[in-house]
Every structure is written in structure tokens, then in C-alpha cells.
Amino acid sequence: MSRRLNPCFLFLFALIPLFCAATSHAAQPLRYWFWWEASTFDTYYGDYFDVMQVARNIYAPLISIGMDGKPQGMIAEDWKVDPAGTTWKFQLRKELTFEDGKPITPAVVLANFRRMLWVTRGENLPLNSLLPETDAWTDYKAPLKCLYADGGDLVFKFKRRPDNLFEVLSHPIYGIASPVCFDGKGKWKEGFCSVASGQYRVAERSPGKIRLVSRRAFPTAAAAPDEVEIRTPLKPGESALKAMFAGDGELAIEPGFALSSTTLKAIEEHGFTLTEEPPSRMYFVQLNHKKPPFTDKALRRSVRSVFLSLFRKECLALGIAPVEPSFMPRGGVGFGIFPVPEAPAPEVRAQGPVDVVFFPLANYSFPEDGRMQELAENAFLKTLELHGLQPKVTRHLARKGAMKRFVEGDYNVIMRGSGITINDPYAGLKMMFMSQISARIPDPSGKASEFIQKANESADPLERRALAEKMNEAVFEDAAAITFAHSSWVYIHKPRVNMSRFNLFMDPIEFRAIGWRP
């Protein structure tokens, strides 16, 4: 006796392969390689490269410009501005929750902004300078007239119409963290406390890997990844590109200067695509102007001239891009052309040992990729010797140890890099030069900070640009940050990783803006 199968059963049976394929797609993570492991999840450190990769994705800000380059409501669903442009009311989304199910209320959002304003008071960040009441704020529990919750709104009362407020509020330091992670005095309780408010939550943290899982809380690009693994090379000889070439990754980021012609050819041969941001990175030698011998401005300027001349000579001999002494990158607001002497003799001589700190400025995949840094290091050590100084070099294998010495001021010389939004740099410059939580660019004369402050207060675009140029000149003349190269960040990815909706003028990456089809 034969049996006829139920047509409904046949239909369901036919769907099994499709269901399995969809499940496989959802379960396959986007593997993203970055250079350094996150040192904390504290939003206070959200401007640190290692921290922002995670913080940008697990803490939702009021507004984000990370997708399509346009302001998009995240914690806020709408906003209103009074005719004077000084009172801003952000209407907060209802029914938003943290990953533990607790509601994200106006009181919680207010507590986050109060915390960040409190721990950064006196640092003259762009948001702080718009809320001058915070300068004299001495009691953390005391209410502020310039920032408060009103029903379902968060209200800011600024002293003047803000510029680039959306960019400021998009910054990871203003991402909304759960109050369980900080105490009644604004102190972060435990380094890796994370209760997500953003699109992703931390599902796993282990050496060399942080796994993020989507909460599906906010709008995304088509086929945004459900899971992301942020990978970090840990052992000597490991690198992002080596892992990618071995099939262990879909997306990586590298500085353009760290990609030699040989490596670029290998990237092409392995079938990867390059997406490059505008040149917005500067690399420089920082002289500690607070410690002898570089308290002497004449010595700093002589070192600058000799170093740039030697470095340019080496670069030209190898066909490497010419030296760019301008702190602001070419094509950006404030860029300037400064002379590099042909073969200057030291104008000032000194004596004694000098502590020099070097660390890899990138996770160089192959020896040739580190050639530019090698040339810069050798040129600078020769420069010190020509000035009668004896370099005592410490080479850190990782950034963490070197930056610890930098923060503590335990160096005479350190080679490092930073970045800026080149088309509208004013808020970023304020953080870089006038804050202790950002890049801490030196300003011995105070002139750079003066010009930056005036530019942030001006409403005239031409005046602002002129002030940025003066700031750039002041950095060159002070010679405490000697810029020798500009570069961009280059995203190396499989062709099926779609970055068309990601705002390349902003870093770091927001994974909800990425399309990923395995």
C-alpha cells in the first residue's frame, strides 16, 4: 500500500535548505581586524583608538552621523531648536532598553551627560565650553540650569549657537552607558563593565577577540552583520593581513603609509577591495617641551629643520612620497606649506642623554610595510647625534606601554600619530589641543589653543579658516610636534562587504552601516 505525502509537509520540507542557509548566514560573523585590544569599555576613554572601536557600537549616542553622513536619531527620535539656536530639546525614544531590559529613561541619559561633563570639567571640550555653568560646578549632585530633563526631553541651554553639534554628540564619549557601570561620583566601577544601549552588545571577550551580537535596536544598512568579531593580532609575527590572506577575516584597517607596493599587489591578488578615507592622519615626532633639553625652543626648531631635511633626502632616494611638515593634512582646512631646508647644520647644540620612545605606528604585516617609520626613526636618531645628544631608545612592541609613558610624561621624544576631520576640524582641534582625554597635542606657546578657541567662537567661515591656518603655523613654529607624514586609513575587505553607507569622514566604524553577505 502506498502513501501520499501531505502537500503541506512537502512544502515545509522544501523550505529546510533555505532555512539552514539563512541560519548559516546569520551565524557567520563579520571578522574585523584592528591593531590593538580595547583597554576598557569606559566611555571617558571613548576617544582612544582601541576603545572607540567597541564603544561606538555598544553605546548609542543621542545622534549619529556614522551612516550616510547625515544626522540620524538614535537615543533621540527628534529635536527642536529655538530661533536663537541656543536652546535644544531632544525628544527621547520611548521604550528603548539596555541589553539587560532596563529602560533608557531621560534620567539615565541626563546622568550620562552629567557624568561626562563632571569628569571632563576644566578640560574645555567643545560641549563643556558651550555650557559655561560647568566651569564653576563643584557639587556633582547639584542640578544644572543649562542641562536638564523635561518630561521626555533632554534640554541643553547653550551660551551661543553651537557649530557641528551633531558631530560632537556623535562622539563615543557621549554614548549612553548603564548607570550600573558608574557610581554616584561618576567613577567607572569596573574596566570592562558593559550593558549595551547601542546596536550591538558584547557577547564574548577573550584574548585577541571581542564578539559583538546585534540587538536590532536601530536602523541599519541592508544586510548589516548580526555578529561581529573584533580581532587583534597578539603574537609577534601575527598581522591582520596575514590572517585575511589565510581566509580568517573579511575586513581590516591599515594606515595607507603602511601598505607597500608589494603588499598592495598581494591584496589585489587575494581578491580584496580597498576603500580609502580622505587623508586625515598626521604622524609626528613629539618633543617633551616640559623637560630639558627640549624646554629650549631654539633647540626644538633646529632639530625640526635637520630632521625634516634628512628624512626628505631618504624618502626621495627611495621614491617615497615627499615630506609634509604641515600638521593639518593636505586638502584639509588649515593646511599650510612650510619650507624644508636642503641640508641645514644644527643651529643649537646640547649634550646629555635623551629618552626616546618608539613603538609600531601600525601593525606592519610585512617588513617592507614599515619602511617609512624605519626611515623616520633613523633620521631622527641621527639628528639627535648631530646636535650632541645621546639617544637612549626604548622600543615597545605594543602601543600600550609606550602610551603609558607618554601620559605620565616619562619621555623626551616619542613618535606617534593622530587624526582629525579635515573638512570641519574645529571641534576636533579643541579636543586635540585643549583636553586631557584626547590626543594631547603640545602647545608650548599657547598660541595654537588661542586660535582654536577663537575659531570655535567665530561664526564667519573665512575667519575660522584663517584662524585654523594660524593654528597650523603656531604648531610648526613651536616645533614640539614635528609632522613628517600624512596618511589615510584604508579599509581592506572582501568584495561582499559593502561600505557605501559608512561615513568615511568619521571614525571609528559603525558596523550597522556595513553590508555583509557571506
Q: Which of 438, 444, 404, 446 is nearest to 418 (CA)?
A: 438
Residue 83 within a domain: no
Do 424 and 324 share a domain, yes or no?
Answer: yes
pLDDT score, position 427 = 86
Residue 299 contacts residue 291 (beta carbons within 8 Å): no
Based on the fold, state whether residues 462 and 325 are members of the same structural domain.
yes
Determine which helix (DSSP H) or strand (DSSP E) holds 9, and give its type and residue range.
helix 7-27
Q: Are 153 and 90 in contact (CB under 8 A)?
A: yes
Mean predicted confidence (pLDDT) in 400-410: 93
480 and 421 both lie in a single domain:
yes
Same domain (yes/no): 285, 222: no
91 or 324: which leads in pLDDT? 91
Rounded to the nearest 5°, which phi and psi values hold at 34?
Answer: -130, 165
Burial class (CB in 10 A: 0-12, 13-18, 19+), 164: middle
Average pLDDT value over all residues in the chain: 91
Tell me if the bond preceding 508 is cis, omega within 30° of 0.
Answer: yes
pLDDT at position 253 is 94
φ/ψ of 184, rounded to 5, equals -70, -5
pLDDT at 363: 86
Q: Please write the tens of the pLDDT for every residue from 128-177.
A: 989 989 888 999 999 999 999 999 999 999 999 998 899 999 999 999 99
The answer to whether residue 380 is domain-embedded is yes
Q: Are residues 318 and 457 in the same domain?
A: yes
Q: Give me the number of domains the chain comprises.
A: 2
Q: Are residues 467 and 482 in the same domain?
A: yes
According to DSSP, the β-strands at 352-358 and 389-395 are parallel
Report the pLDDT averaged over residues 440-464: 94
Residue 466 lies in a domain: yes
Q: Which pLDDT value is given to residue 17?
A: 44
Cβ neighbours, 10 Å, residue 77 = 14
pLDDT band at 21 (very low <50, low <70, confident <90, very high): very low
Give tens-digit pLDDT for 343-376.
Answer: 789 999 999 999 999 999 998 999 999 999 999 9
Q: Does 209 reside within a domain? A: yes
Percentage of the chain lying above the pLDDT 90 cut: 78
Name the residue among 438, 436, 446, 443 with its Cα closest to residue 479.
443
Alpha-carbon distance 484 to 501, whole Å?
32
27 pLDDT band, cuts 50/70/90, is low
Give me the pLDDT at residue 3, please. 39
Q: How confident is the model at residue 14 (pLDDT cuts 50, 70, 90)?
A: very low
Q: Which domain holds residue 286?
A: 281-487
Domain assignment present for 228? yes
In a shared domain, residues 328 and 363: yes
Region 256-264 average pLDDT: 93
Same domain, yes or no: 332 and 477: yes
Say yes or no to pLDDT of 65 above 90.
yes
User: Do both 308 and 252 map to the same domain?
Assistant: no
Q: Which amino acid is at 269?
A: E
Domain with residue 500: its CATH number is: 3.40.190.10
- Over residues 209-230, the mean pLDDT reads 97
Same structural domain, 385 and 458: yes
Q: In this model, does residue 15 exceed pLDDT 70?
A: no
Round to whole Å and give the CA distance between 97 and 94: 9
Task: Report the candidate in 133, 515, 337, 421 with the shortest Cα–Cα distance to residue 430.
Answer: 421
Q: Is residue 219 part of a domain?
A: yes
The enclosing domain of 309 has a CATH number of 3.10.105.10
Residue 420 sits at the vertex; the CA angle it makes with 450 and 238, to the nearest 5 degrees, is: 140
**What pLDDT sits at residue 169?**
95
Q: Does 315 share its domain with 208?
A: no
Strand order in the sheet with 227-231: 200-206, 209-214, 227-231, 30-33, 251-255, 489-493, 273-276
- Asked, for residue 23, whether it belongs to a domain, the answer is no
Query: Are 322 and 250 contained in the same domain?
Result: no
Euclidean distance between CA atoms 456 and 362, whole angstroms: 32
pTM of the predicted structure, to 2 decimals: 0.88
**In this structure, is residue 232 part of a structural domain?**
yes
Specify whether the CB–CB gap between 307 and 379 falls below 8 A.
Answer: yes
Q: Residue 421 — pLDDT band, cuts 50, 70, 90?
A: confident
